[in-house]
């Protein structure tokens, strides 16, 4: 596995199902694992749609594996293309000459390139692409590009929708119907309709096949449960043919007639490339708010972005009746059930970066309150008790018994006594309100969640007459190695916090809207007697802490259990519970995850110095030293390492923090726990983001806003991200103290790139290159063009040609030909083509006596500036004729600075390309990026455009660039 910036790359085919999970794509509506289009015998294609549950034995309900929309069947001269090595006969396999699969995290596109030699010796290059549209959740798109290297023969294609899928042996679909019809005069479509057997959710998929660059008739074919579109064409050596398969999907959860909706949408679908444009644009906007930039550690950078990508494709964007399952939408682990993972580990990422998605996740808990009330009532309690494992209705779906690896049935007590889920949900609601200031949502929805779950706790606690305190007995804390314990520190501590917040919330609600508060009190039967009991519980609930040592006992009697040195069991490849057994582990000080440390992380501010011997720092240090070494960090809970990393950062142990962080960040990329095949570790992914922001960056939210106490890992030279608080964005750009300039030098010159900054001639360049590529029969599209952003003409042509060799004379002629196309296209350019804000900024710079230069790879810069009517502002032009080394080499900008007679550190470069920003930084200049953060995040400052930008504001914002930030909001 290779990791390069934004792309996860697999350069050798791996048949493990962990890879299928690893290459999952999605759009917040569904997730599709990385099965191969042509399939292989041990493959298990999986597509899971939010909310599409069906009843099953033992585990109650599970997300249903939906029909496989990926399937292609390809024959070359009668021989079936296959990538696997599991053919019955060696002669049937052919040879894989080249293989590479890439998941582009920037665009959500999964790409695979294969060069295959058939058993008869025909060599073919295949390129597969797929994406689940993030801009239209009901659209799925595939493309296959096939090129004959050395043969002339017939190629046969079959594009299927296959309902022969299962959930590890169980097929949930029945009442299958299928058909085909003409979409228009030129296109034929197929459809498949089915219904889940118990929940009776209807699903429909429709698909069409488009063939470009070849004469081909498309026909429909119907095998039971597997409609398909077939075609064949003749291909010649060197010829490339493109095929597109576009799919629509709807369920009865969204529409009354899924089949009609799927068909109507299919009729209106444009081409693959047209669909790709909004896909890329939407992802650019998402990453602008979500990205975390790390410089100095490429492996960590890729790992962080991968984890965030998996969260982003699992978050319901248009549905507030569902939530993110523990294994996201990437596998069968935990059957698609929702745990505390969402509120404690995943939700913070969305609260601070995309609060509208956080609100959707919390609305799921509001809509499942009836199920929580049923659970409390069934247990003989009052109020609401959220299910440990939840699905569609909020009723408890944790299995009572499950078989272990020997087949012996094991009782699962979490459903009955792992109660901290109630405080976890309340914590998520409170954090959402604290960060967003969404008073209306708290009143209308959140208050009922916090208050009714608080009512449960008042009915669950017990009064100990001997110790004169409230207790909570017979529970399981987050550390599931220990069952049936009394006074679990995490549970009791969180309950105290929960009731404190409930009282605070009730006071706020009465002041805000007394009539509404009275109505809610009647609805949930909240009385003065109950409120008084909450006050008493807060004052008298037990959380044991030794006032001399400051050690908090995890639960009653924990310190009397047998102690174990975990290093005595190394090396190992399974959990300590698997080695010792459930009963034996229960009798030892071996933690699946450390409850006390988790409590100190979530409620650390409650242990601030109050003059007692047990300060926050001492309490954390003491409990870290005791519990960290007793935690099964390798094979216990995947939730623990990220929290350990945060606490290590708080104790100024950056190396320990980094080690725990990487254990969390690589849990799926490197399959560290050997269970990625079951699905992506969603909570771990959320913990990775928290470790970055609250650990390494040291961000803390105070009543007055943010503060930071950075502890960057060794080797990291920069950490940059954005957070939203009270509907306002804040940028954090952190560097080691000795690498960040402490003051902003006086800027005396501004050097502008031309295209994408002053004007946008990108479309003209694209059309010029596209015309040249088409003449040469070279595949070229906007995605390839995006990879050329900022490159000069020669390097752009080399990028297009790839491995193709052309004589030098012909190469020069191609460049001139493209330039001719471009010049013709821009003949009509005028001052109207200036981008918004440009002329105003140029006038301000001139009035402040700031020198203005151009640093552009274009060899037509002078002509374009004249046509734009801004040549009068420009004092120096460094262009494609000026230097030999292109960006990201600093030569072009250094030459411009020399022409302006300025030192590099007194120049500001304005760029829209990543290579240009790199060039500016290499020149020791200040860099302003204009465009999306995911492309330009390494600039000192990034703006979406120059519109409404003033020189004074730019100076002020550049002065805010520091190694540490302290915000007073």
Active-site hit among 395, 753, 879, 891? 753
Q: Which residues are annotated as a binding site for Mg(2+)?
A: 753, 755, 911-912
The residues pairing with 734 across neighbouring beta strands, listed in sequence order, are 719
Distance of CA 287 to the CA centre of its chain: 9
**Catalytic residue list contains 755:** yes
Q: Give one DSSP letter per residue of 191-247, joined into a string.
A: EEEEEETTT--EEEEEEEEEEESS---EEEEEETTEEEEEEEEEE-TT-EEEEEEEE
The residues pairing with 10 across neighbouring beta strands, listed in sequence order, are 101
**What value, to the nearest 5°, has the Cα angle with vertex 22 and ends 19 and 23?**
90
Closest alpha carbon to 191 in 180, 199, 175, 201: 180
**Residues counted in the chain:** 969
Backbone angles phi, psi at 601, to 5 degrees: -70, -50
Q: Give the CA radius of gyration of the chain.
A: 30
Closest alpha carbon to 764 in 674, 677, 863, 680: 863
Is residue 921 a contact partner of residue 938, using CB atoms and an 8 Å limit? yes
Active-site hit among 297, 479, 755, 879? 755
Distance CA 256, CA 803 (A): 52
Distance CA 778, CA 814 (A): 13
Q: Which residues are annotated as a binding site?
A: 753-755, 769, 788-793, 796, 818, 856-860, 887, 911-912
The CA–CA distances, whole Å, from 923 to 97, 418, 617, 890, 942 equal 42, 58, 44, 5, 18
Q: Give one DSSP letter per residue of 511-524, joined into a string.
A: HH-HHHHHHHHHHH
Distance CA 894, CA 176 (A): 67
**Catalytic residue list contains 660:** no
Q: Which residues are annotated as a binding site for substrate?
A: 753-755, 769, 788-793, 796, 818, 856-860, 887
Closest alpha carbon to 919 in 956, 944, 945, 894: 894
Count the Cβ atoms, other than its own, within 10 Å of residue 185. 5
Q: Give one DSSP letter per residue of 45-66, joined into a string.
A: --EEEEEEEEEETTTEEEEEEP
Closest alpha carbon to 32 in 313, 286, 336: 313
Q: What is the DSSP letter of 104?
A: E
Phi-psi sector, 401: left (phi>0), alpha (psi -120 to 50), beta: beta
Is residue 728 a contact partner of residue 437, using CB atoms and an 8 Å limit? no
Greatest alpha-carbon pair distance for the chain in Å reads 97
The helices-and-strands tally (H runs, E runs) of the chain is 32, 34
Is residue 479 a contact partner of residue 412, using CB atoms and an 8 Å limit? no
Q: Which residues are marked as active site?
A: 753, 755
């Amino acid at each position: 596995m290779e990791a390069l910036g934004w792309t996860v790359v697999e350069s050798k085919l791996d048949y493990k199902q962990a890879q299928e999970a690893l290459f999952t794509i999605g759009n917040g509506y569904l997730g599709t694992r990385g099965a191969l289009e042509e399939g292989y015998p041990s493959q298990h294609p999986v597509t899971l749609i939010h909310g599409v549950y069906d009843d099953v034995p033992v585990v109650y309900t599970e997300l249903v594996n939906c029909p496989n929309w990926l399937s292609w069947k390809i024959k070359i001269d009668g021989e079936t293309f296959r990538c696997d090595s599991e053919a019955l006969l060696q002669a049937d396999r052919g040879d894989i000459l080249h293989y590479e699969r890439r998941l582009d995290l920037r665009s959500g596109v999964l790409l695979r390139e294969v060069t295959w030699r058939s058993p008869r010796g025909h060599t073919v290059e295949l390129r597969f692409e797929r994406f689940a549209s993030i801009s239209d959740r009901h659209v799925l798109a595939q493309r296959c590009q096939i090129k004959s290297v050395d043969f002339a023969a017939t190629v046969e294609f079959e594009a299927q929708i296959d309902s022969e899928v299962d959930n590890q042996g169980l097929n949930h679909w029945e009442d299958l119907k299928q058909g085909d019809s003409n979409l228009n005069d030129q296109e034929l479509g197929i459809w498949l309709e089915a219904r889940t057997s118990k929940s009776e959710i209807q699903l429909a998929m429709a698909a069409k096949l488009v063939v470009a660059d070849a004469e081909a008739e498309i026909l429909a074919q119907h095998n039971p449960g597997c409609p398909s579109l077939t075609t064949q064409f003749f291909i010649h050596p060197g010829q490339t043919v493109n095929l597109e398969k576009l799919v629509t999907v709807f369920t009865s959860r969204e529409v009354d007639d899924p089949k009609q909706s799927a068909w109507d949408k299919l009729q209106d679908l444009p081409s693959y490339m047209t669909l790709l444009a909004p896909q890329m644009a939407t992802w650019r906007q998402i990453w602008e708010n979500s990205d975390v930039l790390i410089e100095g550690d490429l492996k960590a950078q890729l790992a962080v972005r991968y984890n965030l990508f998996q969260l982003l494709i699992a978050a319901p964007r248009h549905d507030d009746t569902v939530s993110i399952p523990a294994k996201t939408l990437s596998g069968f682990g935990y059957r698609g059930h929702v745990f505390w993972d969402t509120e404690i580990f995943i939700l913070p990422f969305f609260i601070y970066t995309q609060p509208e998605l956080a609100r959707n996740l919390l609305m799921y808990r509001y809509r499942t309150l009836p199920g929580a009330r049923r659970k409390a009532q069934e247990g003989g309690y009052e109020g609401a008790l959220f299910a440990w494992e939840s699905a569609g209705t909020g009723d408890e779906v944790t299995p009572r018994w499950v078989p272990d690896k020997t087949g012996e049935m094991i009782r699962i007590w979490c459903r009955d006594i792992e109660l901290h889920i109630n405080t976890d949900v309340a914590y998520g609601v409170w954090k959402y309100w604290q960060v967003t200031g969404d008073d209306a949502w708290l009143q209308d929805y959140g208050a009922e969640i916090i208050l009714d779950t608080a009512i449960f706790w008042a009915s669950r606690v017990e009064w100990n007459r001997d110790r004169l305190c409230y207790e909570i007995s017979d529970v399981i804390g987050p550390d599931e190695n220990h069952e049936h314990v009394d006074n679990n520190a995490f549970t009791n501590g969180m309950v105290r916090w929960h009731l404190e917040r409930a009282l605070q919330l009730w006071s706020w609600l009465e002041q805000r809207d007394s009539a509404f508060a009275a109505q809610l009190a009647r609805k949930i039967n909240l009385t003065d007697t109950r409120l008084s009991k909450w006050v008493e519980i807060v004052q008298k609930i037990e959380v044991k802490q030794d006032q001399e040592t400051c050690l908090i006992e995890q639960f009653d009697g924990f310190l009397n259990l047998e102690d174990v040195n975990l290093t005595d069991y190394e090396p190992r490849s399974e959990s300590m519970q698997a080695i010792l057994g459930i009963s034996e582990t229960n009798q030892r000080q071996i933690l699946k995850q450390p409850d006390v440390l988790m409590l100190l992380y979530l409620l650390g501010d409650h242990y601030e110095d109050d003059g007692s011997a047990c300060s926050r720092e001492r309490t954390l240090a003491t409990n870290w030293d005791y519990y960290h070494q007793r935690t099964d960090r390798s094979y216990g809970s995947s939730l623990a390492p990220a929290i350990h990393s945060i606490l290590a950062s708080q104790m100024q142990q950056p190396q320990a923090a980094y080690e725990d962080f990487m254990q969390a960040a690589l849990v799926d990329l490197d399959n560290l726990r050997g269970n990625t095949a079951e699905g992506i570790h969603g909570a771990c992914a959320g913990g990775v983001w928290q470790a970055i922001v609250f650990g390494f960056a040291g961000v803390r939210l105070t009543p007055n806003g943010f503060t930071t106490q950075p502890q960057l890992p060794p080797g990291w030279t920069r950490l940059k991200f954005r957070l939203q608080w009270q509907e306002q964005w804040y940028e954090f750009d952190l560097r080691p103290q000795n690498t960040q300039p402490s003051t902003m030098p006086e800027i005396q010159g501004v050097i502008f790139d031309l295209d994408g900054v002053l004007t946008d001639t990108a479309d003209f360049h694209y059309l010029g290159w596209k015309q040249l590529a088409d003449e040469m029969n070279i595949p070229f599209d906007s995605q390839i063009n995006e990879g050329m952003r900022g490159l000069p003409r020669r390097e752009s042509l080399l990028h297009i040609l790839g491995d193709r060799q052309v004589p030098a004379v012909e190469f020069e002629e191609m460049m001139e030909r493209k330039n001719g196309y471009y010049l013709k296209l821009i003949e009509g350019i005028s001052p109207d083509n200036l981008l918004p804000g440009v002329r105003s900024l140029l006038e301000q710079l001139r009035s402040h006596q700031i020198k203005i230069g151009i640093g552009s790879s274009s060899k037509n810069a002078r002509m374009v500036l004249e046509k734009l009517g801004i040549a009068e502002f420009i004092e120096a032009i460094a262009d494609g004729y000026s230097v030999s080394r292109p960006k990201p080499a600093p030569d072009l900008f250094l030459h411009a600075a020399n022409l302006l007679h300025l030192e590099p550190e007194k120049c500001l470069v304005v760029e829209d390309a990543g290579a240009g920003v790199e060039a500016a930084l290499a020149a020791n200049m200040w860099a302003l990026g204009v465009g999306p953060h995911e492309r330009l995040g390494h600039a000192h400052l990034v703006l979406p455009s120059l519109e409404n930008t003033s020189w004074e504001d730019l100076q002020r914002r550049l002065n805010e660039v520091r190694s540490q930030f302290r915000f007073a909001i």
